[in-house]
Structure 1
Amino acid sequence: MSPDQLFPPRPHRREHIAEALQDVLTSWKLNPAALVAVTIDNGANVVKVVQLNKWQRMKCFGHRLHLAIGHGMDDARVTRAISLCKKVVSSFSYSWKKRRDLAEVQIQLGLPSHQLITETATRWGSRLLMIDRVLEQERALSKVLSADMKTRPLVPTWQDIEVLEAVQKALKPLQDFTDALSGEDYVTLSYVRPVLHLIRPVLHLLNKSLLAPAEGESALCKSIKTSIVEYLNNKFADPPTSDLLDTASFVDPRFKAKYIPSEKMDALKHKVISEAESLLRYNDYGSNCVP
Structure 2
Amino acid sequence: MDQNVQMLLAKLMEEKHTFNYKKLVVPMSMRSIYWKYFGFPATDEGEILTRVKIVCILCKTQIAYNRNTSNLRMHLQNKHAHELLELETANPPRRPSVDPKEKRAQKRVKTPSAPHIFTTVADGTVQIEGDVHFITDPNITLQSIDDDGSSSNQNVRVVLKREIGNQNVAIILPEENTNSQMPSMVDGKTISDAIAEFVILDLQLPDVVEGRGFQRLIATLRSPCEIPSKTKLEEELIPRIYDTFKESVQSLVSCHQGEMGLSVEEWNSANGESFITISVHFQQSFDPVLETKVLGTLHCGSEMDTAQWGNVFDVFFSEWDIKLENVTAVVTATTKQEILMALAEKGLTLVPCLVHSLQLCTNACFEQPEVVNILYKCRSIVALISHNNTYNATLRMQEQMMQLEENTLRMDYPRVWTSTYVMLEQLLIRKNIIISILNTADIIERDGFMLTEAEWKIMEDLVMVLEPFKVTIMTLSEEKTPLISLLKPLLCQLNNSHLKAKDSDSESAKNFKTSLSENLSTRYSDPTVNQLLQTATMLDPRFKLLPYANGDDKNIISGPIKEMLIKFVEEEQISNVGEEPCDKKSRLSGMEFLLGDLCNSKNGMPAEERADLELVQYQSESIAALDHCPLQWWAKASAKCPSLARLARKYNCVPASASPPHRIPMESQVLFDLRRASLGPDLVEKLIFLNGNHSV
Q: TM-score, normalised by structure 2?
A: 0.36
Q: Which moved further from structure 2: 135-144 or 267-276?
A: 267-276
| 1:92 paired to 2:385 | yes
Alpha-carbon distance between aligned partners in 2 of 1:224 and 1:231, rounded to the nearest angstrom: 11
SS at match of 2:351: strand
What whole-Å deviation, never above 9, does each CA across 1:157-200 have from its counterpart, x for those lacking one? 21221111111111112221223346784032111101121233
2:499–2:517 contact (8 Å) kept in structure 1:
yes
1:20-31 correspondence to structure 2 within 5 Å? 20-26=316-322
Q: Give the drift of 1:255.
A: 0.8
Q: Which residue of 1 aligns with 2:429?
A: 136
Q: Which residue of 1 aligns with 2:491?
A: 196
Q: Which amino acid aligns with 2:445?
A: T
Q: Give the drift of 1:251.
A: 0.9
Q: 1:136 to 1:266 in 2, by over 3 A?
A: closer
| 1:236 paired to 2:236 | no
Q: Which residue of 1 aligns with 2:325?
A: 33
Alpha-carbon distance between aligned partners in 1 of 2:461 and 2:297, rounded to the nearest angstrom: 50
What whole-Å deviation, never above 9, does each CA across 1:240-270 have from its counterpart, x for those lacking one? 1111111111111111132334223334222
Q: Which residue of 1 aligns with 2:244?
A: 2
Higher relative contact order (CA 8 A, sep 6+): 1
What whole-Å deviation, never above 9, does each CA across 1:214-239 have from its counterpart, x for those lacking one? 23221101110111111112221121
| 1:118 paired to 2:118 | no
SS at match of 1:37: strand
| 1:271 paired to 2:574 | no
| 1:152 paired to 2:394 | no
SS at match of 2:320: helix
Q: 1:182 to 1:243 in 2, by over 3 A?
A: farther
2:358–2:469 contact (8 Å) kept in structure 1:
no
Q: Which moved further from structure 2: 260-269 or 76-85?
A: 260-269
Q: Which moved further from structure 2: 66-75 or 223-232?
A: 66-75
Q: Give the drift of 1:46.
A: 4.4
Match of 1:221 among 483, 498, 509: 509
| 1:175 paired to 2:470 | yes
The structure with the largest strand share of the pair is 2
Q: Any unmatched runs of 5+ in structure 1?
A: 201-206, 285-291
Alpha-carbon distance between aligned partners in 2 of 1:247 and 1:93, rounded to the nearest angstrom: 51
Q: Which amino acid aligns with 1:187?
A: P
Q: Give the drift of 1:74.
A: 4.0
Q: Which moved further from structure 2: 133-142 or 2-11?
A: 2-11
What whole-Å deviation, never above 9, does each CA across 1:46-71 have from its counterpart, x for those lacking one? 42552354311111122112211222
Q: Which moved further from structure 2: 242-251 or 71-80?
A: 71-80
Alpha-carbon distance between aligned partners in 1 of 2:418 and 2:297, rounded to the nearest angstrom: 36
2:468–2:494 contact (8 Å) kept in structure 1:
no
Q: Which amino acid aligns with 1:2?
A: T
What whole-Å deviation, never above 9, does each CA across 1:137-176 have from its counterpart, x for those lacking one? 1222222222221332333221221111111111112221
What whole-Å deviation, never above 9, does each CA across 1:2-60 have from its counterpart, x for those lacking one? 3456699997573334432354355xxxx643421010112426425523543111111
Alpha-carbon distance between aligned partners in 1 of 2:344 and 2:318, rounded to the nearest angstrom: 13
Match of 1:259 among 539, 544, 548: 548
SS at match of 1:36: strand
Q: Which amino acid aligns with 1:118?
A: M
Q: Which moved further from structure 2: 83-92 or 4-13?
A: 4-13
Alpha-carbon distance between aligned partners in 2 of 1:143 and 1:3, rounded to the nearest angstrom: 57
Match of 1:69 among 362, 378, 400: 362
Q: Which amino acid aligns with 1:101?
A: T
Q: Which amino acid aligns with 2:427?
A: V
1:72–1:223 contact (8 Å) kept in structure 2:
no
The structure with the largest helix share of the pair is 1
1:211–1:226 contact (8 Å) kept in structure 2:
yes
Q: 1:121 to 1:11 in 2, by over 3 A?
A: closer
What whole-Å deviation, never above 9, does each CA across 1:71-90 have from its counterpart, x for those lacking one? 23443222221221111112
Pairwise CA RMSD:
3.1
Q: Which residue of 1 aligns with 2:641?
A: none
| 1:16 paired to 2:16 | no
Alpha-carbon distance between aligned partners in 2 of 1:113 and 1:157, rounded to the nearest angstrom: 25
2:438–2:446 contact (8 Å) kept in structure 1:
yes
Alpha-carbon distance between aligned partners in 1 of 2:379 and 2:385, rounded to the nearest angstrom: 10
Tell me the number of residue pairs that the alignment of Structure 1 and Structure 2 aligns: 272
Q: Which residue of 1 aligns with 2:69?
A: none
Alpha-carbon distance between aligned partners in 2 of 1:163 and 1:102, rounded to the nearest angstrom: 23
Alpha-carbon distance between aligned partners in 1 of 2:396 and 2:504, rounded to the nearest angstrom: 35
Q: 1:252 to 1:168 in 2, by over 3 A?
A: same
| 1:42 paired to 2:334 | yes
Alpha-carbon distance between aligned partners in 1 of 2:533 and 2:477, rounded to the nearest angstrom: 16
SS at match of 1:55: coil
Larger Rg: 2
Q: Which amino acid aligns with 1:151?
A: E
Q: Which moved further from structure 2: 186-195 or 74-83?
A: 74-83
Q: Which amino acid aligns with 1:271?
A: P
Q: Give the drift of 1:104.
A: 3.0
